[in-house]
Structure 1
Amino acid sequence: MKLDTATNLKQLEKIQSIAGIGYWIYIYDEKNMWWSDVCFKILGYQIQEFTPSRKLLFKHIHPEDLEFFEESLHQMKSQAIEIEFRFYKNGELRLGRITGEVDNNDNSQLREEVLFQDITDIKIKEFEIAKAWNKALEAENLKNSFLANMSHELRTPLNSIIGFSELLETDNLNGCVPKYARQIKSSGLHLLKIIENLLKVSMLESRTAKPVKRNFNINKLLSDIQSNCLINMKNMKKEHLKLNFSCDLEDSLAIIKSDQIKIRSILQNILHNSIKFTEAGSITCSYKILNHTIQFSITDTGPGIPNAFKNKIFQRFRQVEENYNKNFSGTGLGLYISRLEIELLSGKIWMVSESDVGTTINFSIPNVIRVNSQDDVNPTPEIYNWENYTVVIAEDQLTNYKILEAYLQRTNINIIWAQTGSDVVKACMNHAEINLVLMDINLPHINGLEAAKRIKEKRPNLTIIAQTAYALEGDKEKSLTAGCSEHLAKPFHKSDLLLAMSKYLP
């Protein structure tokens, strides 16, 4: 199909309109200028509103780009050009692009032919794409760094656990059992800490964690934390560091109501970092209370935090050293968890750091209530004698059963071992003398929750305590709904087990 000239021009104008590309022509000898309809729209005018001119065009160019713009048009006489520049449309600053050349076919009249486009939106999208791409690359690098680091952090304690366990299997121990056992326990606790941190991040990020406020003595809490810090310093061979704790309140007046567990976690994470990175000098921890807000300050004389990392240290998996040759171990979760826990308590965290001088990390927790008496005091450990009572340990793993058996050995309680959900239900139905059930949840045949429901249907007054590795938010509620009176998340301490049982056994 053959089109006439008028049709061709109409189609060309339509294409230019769709593409948002204008077109102008300038005749040098006559100093006449013509704009296409799109050019008028780009500069914010009605179509063919007036006769265009070079002078009017220059008024739209940003003053700082005008000289460059004019020189580029002049250069067009000798070669084709493409430039980007800033211009104004109805007072709004935009970004434009022109591509053009000067036609001199008849060697007599110079004619400037230029394509004109507003590329503001294109550039914004390009910037957003580049930003998203850089963010994706950063996330990928961060993930790779984290996985490599996590592999190291997990394999290190596992190596100790497996290695010392193999040594315990040999006959020639020469009195090394206690030392090896301590190493296994220490490595196991380190491994548990890593797992707990990963679970804690999951709960905090999902906003399923909730504050649990109780009365406690803040000075006593700081004293306990100080003792733990001294042990850590000894393990890190940093006993030479000075560790100072300063309390704003007298011991008898230092009872407040807030989330003790989270405040302990926050302080321990920050102090652990300070000890790890400080080689000489001191570490000071202090607090003050003002208008129901408690503010903590932890100051160290470490190397300080480089400016490039000051906005990153409270992000997850971030460490000042993120390469294979780093000098300090760690998952990069401690300060991130602290930030999330502080935000959960409606608080805020900030820091001041100077290279070769040290770092001060401050955080504040609002809505702290001072009280006159202390509830929730942990009871003094007791020696229990339950020789007239019987407990069923529902546990399919032999090693876990042996641990519970050892924990209960000195209580003289009678023990029945049930290895499946069906076995524990049968035991409770056939032995009226059973006083308590320690129920694992992940049991063969029927799980512990279903077993608890069946037992409660027949023996509603029988106490069931869940002891399970299910430790995420909501798991405790599932246990209680099934009929359990307590929920102990593995691994738990011997004292936790005995305390829980003592509530239901005289």
Structure 2
Amino acid sequence: MFTLKSDTEIKQLKKIHSIAGIGYWIYNYTTRKFWWSEITQKTLGYEPFSVTPTRDLLIKHIHPEDLVFFEESLKQMQLQPMEIEFRFYRNGEMRLGKITGEVYQENDTVEEVLFQDITDIKIKEFEIAKAWNKALEAENLKNAFLANMSHELRTPLNSIIGFSELLETGSITNNIPRFASSIKDSGLQLLKIIEDLLKVSMLESRTAKPVKRNFNLPNMMLEVKSLTTRLLKNKNKEHLQLHFKTTGKHSVIKSDQNKIVGILNNLLHNAVKYTENGSISCSYKINNQTIEFSVSDTGKGIPKECQSNVFQRFRQADDNSMHNFGGTGLGLYISRLEIELLGGKIWLVSSEKIGTTVKFSIPNVIDHELISDIHPNPEIFNWENYTVLIAEDQFTNYKILEAYLQPTNINIIWAKTGREAISESLQNPEINLILMDINMPHTNGLEATKLIKKTRPNLTVIAQTAYALEGDREKSLEAGCSEHLSKPFNKTDLLITMSKYLP
């Protein structure tokens, strides 16, 4: 071995290179002598001073496919400084290296090269680039979602506000039913968007829980068919053929009926949205303990490269779907999460211009302990000898409840605050039931319920509230409420719930 620099300079170089993990070699073209640093030896897999450095030994570590490029680059280095990347082997493991060097004349022709293993750096760069692309994609998705959500919210709001202003003028008497129907449909559309956002929050936070009970499967399918028929009419697609098929000997299964209805409605809504001609089919079959549902259409189909996206949030079949067909891009994502919550799975088969079939399965649905789901007809209730206290601070909400209850002939007392609810319930022993709003001034509904129950423990209190997240129902029941109705609820839900506690 020889010394081309002073001992002090070599010592300093060693320290710098050790900190940076950069090796160093020097080759004298005149004397053919070769020297490399300890870092270079370690980078190639040798213990310090365990081998004698030679040009041939270095060449043996270069990947065969990069060898010609490596040697040619060293020749070019005699003409100009060079920086190259190449593959090499260390103890049989392929690595990625980088050299930066030059050849100069100093009595002899000398090649000085910095040598670094950049494998880990490249891996980190790749991971950073991958994370950056993922973050960029997420940012683009978020921006597209917010822009689309603004459109989806403003569309029904425009109808609600516009038709309400027309009704307010009082000069369109003949169109009142039609305008009222449009306001209701737009309100339901708005509610669906809000419910989807809440569902995503609960499902992603793992706070949602299935409510499994026995129910009649054919009756459920009739309900879904009725909703789909109405959807076809609203979308002016009544020319599409609608087929509902039922198979299997079991008419009663045990699962979360509301979630299954919601999933089927999401799938059928997509089928209607993307199908212009042909037919839409919905069926199920039961094998052992598992039920498998299927929804097929003869619509536009989903491009193969986009099929992996449709079950992700804020994603649709392609980038133009939201612009051309509307929607939040949450339907199939929610369906997937709810199916997984029930222990099942979802998949699809689709071909462009031929159609799409989406299937999902739910296990463990057979239960022989039947539970009656028959509800009385809400139109025949007559509660003229009973009194209800409506605790509600919002005048419009009170008027809706009053309108729902008027046909039953029940006596109504209105309390606008929690304190009034407590006072009225204690001063009027004839009150048989309380419809208790939760978010009220002075004393909230939960505190009011607790205080009322101390004096009148047998008085039925039904919470009717806009609090609809997971855990809100439990809070109402813990406070002493017998039921929890989440706003908005319809007339039928209200009357059937009250009928459990009134004759």
Quote the sequence identity (%).
Answer: 68
Partner of 1:176: 175
Shift of 1:365: 1.0
Query: What SS class does the counterpart of residue 324 from structure 2 fall into?
Result: coil
How many pairs were matched up?
499
Identify the range of structure 1 (286-295 vs 261-270) with the bigger mean alpha-carbon deviation: 286-295
Tell me the alpha carbon deviations over residues 63-84 of structure 1, each in whole angstroms, 9 at most, x when there is no partner: 2222211211121111111111
**Where in structure 1 are there 5+ consecutive unaligned residues?**
none
Amino acid at match of 2:196: N
Match for residue 225 of structure 2?
A: 226
Q: Deviations for 1:239-295, whole angstroms, at most 9, x for unmatched residues? A: 121222221225xx3211111111111111011111101111222222222231112
The aligned residue for residue 46 of structure 2 is 45
Maintained 8 Å contact 1:145/1:322: no
Counterpart of 1:456 in structure 2 is 453
- Aligned pair partner of 1:272 in 269, 274, 279: 269
Amino acid at match of 1:453: K
Q: Deviations over 1:281-311 (max 9, x none)?
A: 2222222222311122222222221233211
How far apart, in 1, do the equivalents of 2:293 and 2:32 lie?
74
Residue aligning to 1:193 = 192
Amino acid at match of 1:242: Q
The residue that corresponds to 1:96 in the other structure is: 97
Contact preservation (8 Å) 2:307, 2:317: no
* Contact 1:255/1:372, CA 8 A, preserved across alignment: no
Contact 2:274-2:300 at 8 Å conserved across structures: yes
Q: CA deviation at 1:7?
A: 3.0
Give the AA of the match of 1:394: A
**What amino acid is the match of 1:409?**
Q
- 2:454 is paired with a residue whose SS is helix
SS of the aligned residue for 2:325 comes to coil
> Given residue 165 of structure 1, which amino acid in structure 2 is its aligned partner?
S
Report how far residue 219 of structure 1 moved: 2.2
User: 2:19 maps to which residue?
Assistant: 18
Q: Residue 297 of structure 1 aligns to which amino acid in structure 2?
A: S
Bigger drift between 9-18 and 417-426 goes to: 9-18
Check the 8 A contact 2:316/2:322 in 1, yes or no. Answer: no
**What is the CA distance between 1:370 and its match in structure 2?**
5.0
Task: Please report the RMSD computed on the Cα atoms of aligned residues, expressed in angstroms.
Answer: 1.7
The C-alpha deviation readout for 1:79-106, integer Å capped at 9, x for no partner, is 1111111111112221111111112233
Structure 1 moving runs of 4+ over 6 Å: none
Amino acid at match of 2:426: M
1:36 has 2:60 as partner: no
Structure 1 residue 41: Cα displacement: 0.7
SS at match of 1:312: coil
In the alignment, is the contact (CA less than 8 A) between 1:440 and 1:467 conserved in 2? yes
| Corresponding position of 1:387 | 384
Tell me how far apart the structure 2 counterparts of residues 326 and 501 of structure 1 sit (CA, whole Å).
44
Match of 2:121, SS state, is: helix
* CA apart distance, 1:136: 1.4
Amino acid at match of 2:37: S
Residue 61 of structure 2 corresponds to residue 60 of structure 1: yes
2:144 aligns with: 145
Distance in 2 between residues matched to 1:490 and 1:439, nearest whole Å:
12
Matched, 1:307 2:304: yes
Pairwise CA distance, 1:28: 2.4
Of stretches 420-429 and 55-64 in structure 1, the one that deviates more from structure 2 is 55-64
In the aligned structure 1, how far is the partner of 2:238 from the partner of 2:502?
Answer: 44
| Alignment partners' CA distance in 1, 2:335 and 2:477 | 29
Q: CA deviation at 1:324?
A: 9.8
Contact 1:23 1:36 in 2 (8 A): yes
> Letter of the aligned partner of 2:152 in structure 1?
E
* Structure 1 residues 219 and 324, CA gap change in structure 2 (3 angstroms): closer
After TM superposition, the score normalised by the length of structure 1 is 0.95
The one-letter code matched in structure 2 to 1:119 is: I
Cα 1:378/1:414, change in 2 over 3 Å? closer
For the 8 Å contact 1:217–1:374, the answer to whether it is kept is no
Show the 5 A alignment for 1:71-470.
71-106=72-107, 109-250=108-249, 253-322=250-319, 326-371=323-368, 373=370, 375-470=372-467
1:204 CA drift (Å): 0.5
Q: CA deviation at 1:211?
A: 1.3
Query: Secondary structure at the residue paired with 2:13?
Result: helix
Q: Aligned-pair distance for 1:357?
A: 1.7
| Letter paired with 2:85 | E
**From 457, 469, 489, the counterpart of 1:492:** 489
For residues 226 and 122 of structure 2, what CA distance do their matches in structure 1 show? Answer: 58
Q: Under a length normalisation based on structure 2, what TM-score does the superposition of the two structures give?
A: 0.96
Secondary structure of the 2:174 match is coil
Does the 8 A contact of 2:289 with 2:366 survive in 1? Answer: yes
2:322–2:328 contact (8 Å) kept in structure 1: no
Amino acid at match of 1:496: D
